[in-house]
């Protein structure tokens, strides 16, 4: 199983690209739980919501991993929960980062805010490019600091899609090549 995570600031095409990757490569797509949570609660989140949102996202990830698809596409993971908690509330539940670091992810696709328009959807709260750039830089810094496998995706929607397709195709090809090599031994 290969696990690809879409990461970065809001309104950069993560959800659309995740769905596109599933359509192109198959596998299992796990959506971002916080959107469902906000719709259900009918209000903005507060700090007390961070933990239940993160725990449910993690539980759903565990359920998806248990299905062992050839490709698991995560529209988000705990990095987003951590960074949003720090951005909005200047605090973060201490268990989030160790929980995130205890898991393996094969590739993070980090989407940049430049090159695509910000679109309001009733849940987004960072219309200023400077805010989205700060979130992007925080994501990039965390991925670098923790030596995660990642690829920056910028440009327009088509360029993001093309580069994501190339990266996921290469990831899956390396996995099938490893399996073929193991089958010959």
pLDDT of 111? 98
Q: Across the chain, where does the E strand assignment appear?
A: 2-7, 28-30, 71-74, 107-111, 150-153
Answer whether residue 87 shows pLDDT above 70.
yes
Instruction: Transcribe 107-155 into DSSP letters.
Output: EEEEE-STTS-----SS----SHHHHHHHHHHHHHHHHHTT--EEEE-S
Least confident of 58-62, 82-86, 149-153, 181-185: 181-185
Quick: pLDDT tens for 105-143.
Answer: 999 999 999 999 887 776 777 888 899 999 999 999 999
Domain residues for 71? 2-183
Whether 4 contacts 74, CB under 8 Å: yes
Quick: pLDDT tens for 15-31.
Answer: 999 999 999 999 999 99
How many domains does one find in the chain?
Answer: 1
Average pLDDT over residues 70-79: 97
pLDDT of 46? 93
Q: Within 10 A of 180 (CB to CB), how many other CB atoms are there?
A: 9
pTM for this structure? 0.91
Percent of the chain with pLDDT over 90: 82
Domain at 134, CATH number: 3.40.50.300
Q: Which residues contact 85 (CB under 8 A, 6 or more apart)?
A: 47, 50, 91, 92, 93, 96
């Amino acid at each position: 199983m290969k696990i690809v995570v879409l990461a970065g600031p809001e309104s950069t095409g993560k959800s659309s690209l995740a769905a596109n990757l599933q359509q192109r490569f198959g596998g299992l797509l796990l959506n971002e739980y916080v959107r469902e949570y906000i719709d259900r609660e009918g209000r903005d989140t507060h700090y007390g919501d961070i933990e239940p949102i993160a725990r449910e996202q993690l539980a759903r990830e565990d359920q998806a991993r248990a299905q062992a698809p050839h490709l698991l596409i995560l529209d988000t993971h705990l990095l987003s929960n951590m960074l949003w908690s720090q951005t909005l509330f200047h605090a973060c539940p201490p268990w989030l980062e160790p929980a995130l670091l205890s898991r393996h992810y094969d590739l993070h696709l980090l989407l940049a805010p430049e090159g695509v328009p910000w679109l309001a959807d009733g849940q987004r709260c960072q219309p200023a490019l400077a805010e989205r750039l700060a979130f992007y830089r925080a994501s990039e810094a965390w991925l670098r600091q923790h030596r995660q496998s990642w690829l920056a995706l910028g440009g327009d929607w088509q360029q993001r899609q093309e580069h994501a397709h190339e990266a996921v195709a290469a990831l899956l090809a390396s996995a099938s090549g490893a399996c073929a090599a193991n089958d010959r031994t």
